[in-house]
Every structure is written in C-alpha cells, then in structure tokens.
C-alpha cells in the first residue's frame, strides 16, 4: 500500500523544539559524546551499483548499522547516549557545577550513576542500548520485554547486567507497563517512543540517531535525492527525515516512511490524518518493527517532512535479507537482520511500480539512501531466514 502525504502540515517547517533537537547542533553533541566511547567507529556506507542498475535508479547507498558500537544496530546510538547524558546532567545538579564527559568515570560521577536506575520497554535492540549505557556508567538497568521477544534477544540484553522483566501482550503493552512500574519505583524511563507529556527523553533518543545521518553526509559525494526508512514507532524515520530537511533545506530528499503491513502504525496514522493505533493481528517477521502505536513526536515530524508512506510484506523483508546476503552485479555482501533491510524493500517495491516511480520522481538519475538498521541481532533467526537452517 502507498500514500502520498496529504496532511495539511506537509512541507511546513518543523516545530522549533524539534528543529533544535534534530539539527546539526544536536548531531554534533551526539558525535562529541561518541568520540569518548571506546568502541566508536564510523559505520560503513556501501554502494550497491548492481541493484541500482537492476532497479533503474542512479545509485543506492546503504548505511550499515550492523557495525554500530558492538550492538549490531543503530539503536546503540540512542538509548546509551541518553543514559550517559542524563547521568552527566544529574551529576551537575548534585555537584552544583558543570560536569564534562571526560569525568564520566570519576568517583563522584560514578557515585551519582550508581544511585540511578534506567528502564525501558524493548523489542530487543533499544533495551540492549539502554543496558549498555547503564553498564558503562555504573548505573542499574531494568528492561521490560513482551512475550514475543526471543530468548536470544533477552540474553543479549541481560549480558550487560540488566534486570529483565517480562510483560504480557505486545510491545505497546510493555511500554505502558515500564512506565507504570518505573513511576512506582522512581526509575528513569528512557523510552524510544513518546506520548503526551513525555517528549524530552524520546526526543534525545532520536537525537542520538542523527549521528548516523551526519556521518553519512560526510561519507557521500552528493546528498541523496530519495530516502526510504523503516518504521517501528517512527523514531529513526523521523530523526533521519528531520536531519536531512534541517541540513539540506530546499535540497532535501524525497522521504518515504516504510511500515510492515502487519504493524503499519505510521501508515495508518497518515491515512487517518492523526496518530492512530493499528489493528493487532499476527506478529510480523520484522520483529523490531512490530509496534502498533506511533511515537507522538515522530508523527509530528513525519506529518511535516515525509513525502509518502508505504507498507511492505513479510516476504519482501525476507527477500531483501537474502538479496543483501547473496548480492549480484558486484554489490558487497551486507548482513541485514529481519528489520534491517525494510527501507530497501520499500525502494524495491516502489521502483517496480511505474505509477509509484512517477509519483516519487524515481529515475535513472536518482541517488537513493537507505539504512541497514541492524545486522544479525538474532543469529538463530538470521540463519533460519537466510540459510534455511538453525544456527
């Protein structure tokens, strides 16, 4: 399914508070913190000339977040960044003076961090990031997982010393449960989704993601003409769309937000003209995108800067994992987990449809940017879907 953005706010400027968080200054703040991380490295930007020729576009570039900070997904940029930032803010408050990132491991700051517990709900990757951040600073992490989260993904979070808490129902139910319990216990919720009255922290999580766009713009010769990004609650799509719009202005790319058809919360919101819940049915294979309620901040941004919304099917997501694993036409191998290649799956579907090509002005001169948002973060599932066997 496909929709051009016809919202009355489409192409209106972002709200000042969103522009402040997601622009060049925000990305610079994130990158300044990243340079203090031991395992920080710019992730690769791959060219896929073979696939570009096959799809009849000029170029496809894939930012490969499978290599991010040892966590295997772009989510490493959000949760852990915010945990570190909040510890520094709290230390400054308690010590009554500014506290620099270089002091993060000092006894005074470690003592402050030790008194803090960070919590969140997760499909897998965001919780890993919050838990990694908490371990780095010496704080506690309490991570809520719903019944669909695999044992492998739970173990990968627990490895960082986090307390794991099982919640009934969907991802969205686990978000509500994390907020409820954290309120009782005095834990700080570092959520990747936002709701009325809870915007600052998820905005900063999204600010973390803008670092991947800032890196990409430096890695590219020319900025992209088209961008396709996958949607869970919409945080990554909104962060990428907003950063391109703020940095490139009138030269900003055509932006397409891509949902799984089984969990199409942003697509359904675009169709309704306001944030709505999508119907809950069979879970999608795109496990990290299995979210039924959009982030309020993400919706506010995408209603302004997304140009189109579309959905892809589970088989499209699996096909793209396989295409990236066994490329043709001289393309490099890219390891993409179930949710990693979904933006690219959107491009492949749009490029194959003459009407959509025309609507999006996709042609042989287009330079398309997509994000491989995760590597094989669930190795068993990857092996099953790409090699047809258990790992």
CB of 98 to ligand PLP, least distance (A): 31
Query: Is residue 339 part of the contact set for ligand PLP (CB under 6 A)?
Result: yes
CB of 115 to ligand PLP, least distance (A): 28
CB of 91 to ligand PLP, least distance (A): 28
- Nearer to ligand PLP by Cβ, of 138 and 234: the residue is 234
Distance in angstroms (rounded) separating the CA atoms of residues 122 and 142: 11
Distance in angstroms (rounded) separating the CA atoms of residues 227 and 241: 8
> 389, 385, 238, 255: which is closest to 320 by C-alpha?
385
- Nearer to ligand PLP by Cβ, of 61 and 125: the residue is 125
Considering only the stretches 31-39, 49-57, 172-180, 234-242, report the one whose residues sit in contact with ligand PLP under the rule CB under 6 A.
234-242
> How many angstroms separate the first and last alpha carbons of the chain?
34
Question: In Å, how far are 74, 176, 263 from 282, measured between CA atoms?
Answer: 26, 21, 9
What are the structure tokens assigned to 132, written together? 């990694």
Query: Is residue 73 part of the contact set for ligand PLP (CB under 6 A)?
Result: yes
- Of the candidates 230, 284, 303, 366, which one interacts with ligand PLP according to CB under 6 A? 230
| Contact string 260-299 vs ligand PLP (x = CB under 6 A) | ----------------------------xx-x--------
9 contacts 291 by C-beta, under 8 angstroms? no
Q: Would you call 290 a catalytic residue per the annotation?
A: no
Query: Is residue 67 part of the contact set for ligand PLP (CB under 6 A)?
Result: no
> 198, 165, 186, 368: which is closest to 295 by C-alpha?
198
Name the active-site residue from 75, 290, 307, 331.
75
Distance in angstroms (rounded) separating the CA atoms of residues 267 and 248: 25
Distance in angstroms (rounded) separating the CA atoms of residues 36 and 64: 21
Query: Is residue 210 part of the contact set for ligand PLP (CB under 6 A)?
Result: no
Q: Would you call 75 a catalytic residue per the annotation?
A: yes
Give the strands of the sheet with 2-4, arranged side by side: 2-4, 308-312, 254-260, 226-230, 367-372, 59-64, 45-47
The residues in 10-39 that bind ligand PLP, with binding defined as CB under 6 A, are none
The residues in 173-192 that bind ligand PLP, with binding defined as CB under 6 A, are 192
Name the active-site residue from 123, 172, 290, 378.
123
Residues that are catalytic: 75, 123
Using CB under 6 A as the criterion, which residues of the chain lie in contact with ligand PLP when the complex forms? 73, 75, 123, 125-126, 192, 230-237, 288-289, 291, 339-340, 373-374
């Amino acid at each position: 399914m496909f929709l051009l953005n016809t919202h009355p706010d489409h192409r209106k400027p972002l709200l000042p508070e969103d522009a402040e968080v997601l622009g060049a200054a925000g990305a610079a703040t994130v990158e300044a913190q990243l340079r203090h991380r031991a395992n920080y490295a710019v992730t690769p930007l791959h060219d896929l000339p073979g696939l570009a020729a096959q799809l009849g576009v000029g170029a496809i570039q894939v930012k490969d977040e499978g290599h991010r900070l040892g966590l295997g997904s772009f989510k490493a940029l959000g949760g852990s960044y915010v945990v570190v930032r909040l510890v520094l803010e709290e230390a400054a408050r308690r010590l009554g003076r500014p506290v620099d990132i270089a002091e993060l491991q000092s006894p005074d700051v470690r003592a402050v961090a030790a008194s803090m517990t960070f919590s969140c709900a997760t499909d897998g990757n965001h919780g890993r990031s919050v838990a990694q951040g908490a371990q780095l600073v010496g704080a506690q992490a309490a991570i809520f997982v719903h019944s669909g989260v695999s044992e492998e993904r739970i173990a990968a979070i627990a490895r960082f010393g986090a307390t794991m808490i099982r919640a009934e129902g969907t991802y969205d139910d686990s978000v509500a449960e994390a907020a409820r319990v954290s309120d009782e216990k005095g834990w700080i919720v570092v959520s990747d989704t936002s709701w009325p009255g809870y915007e600052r922290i998820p905005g900063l999580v999204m600010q973390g993601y803008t670092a991947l766009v800032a890196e990409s713009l430096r890695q590219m010769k020319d900025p992209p003409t088209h961008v396709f990004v996958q949607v869970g609650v919409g945080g990554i799509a909104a962060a990428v769309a907003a950063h391109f719009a703020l940095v490139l202005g009138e030269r900003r790319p055509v932006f397409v937000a891509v949902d799984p058809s089984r969990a199409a919360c942003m697509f359904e919101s675009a169709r309704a003209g306001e944030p709505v819940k999508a119907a809950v049915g069979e879970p999608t294979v795109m496990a990290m995108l299995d979210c039924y309620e959009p982030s309020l901040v993400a919706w506010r941004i995408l209603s302004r800067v997304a140009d189109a919304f579309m959905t892809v099917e589970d088989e499209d997501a699996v096909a793209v994992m396989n295409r990236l694993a066994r490329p043709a036409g001289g393309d490099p191998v890219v390891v993409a987990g179930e949710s990693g290649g979904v933006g690219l799956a959107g491009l492949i579907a749009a490029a194959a449809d003459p009407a959509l090509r025309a609507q999006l002005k996709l042609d042989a001169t287009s330079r398309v940017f997509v994000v491989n948002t995760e590597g094989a973060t669930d190795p068993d599932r990857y092996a099953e879907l790409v090699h047809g066997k258990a790992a």
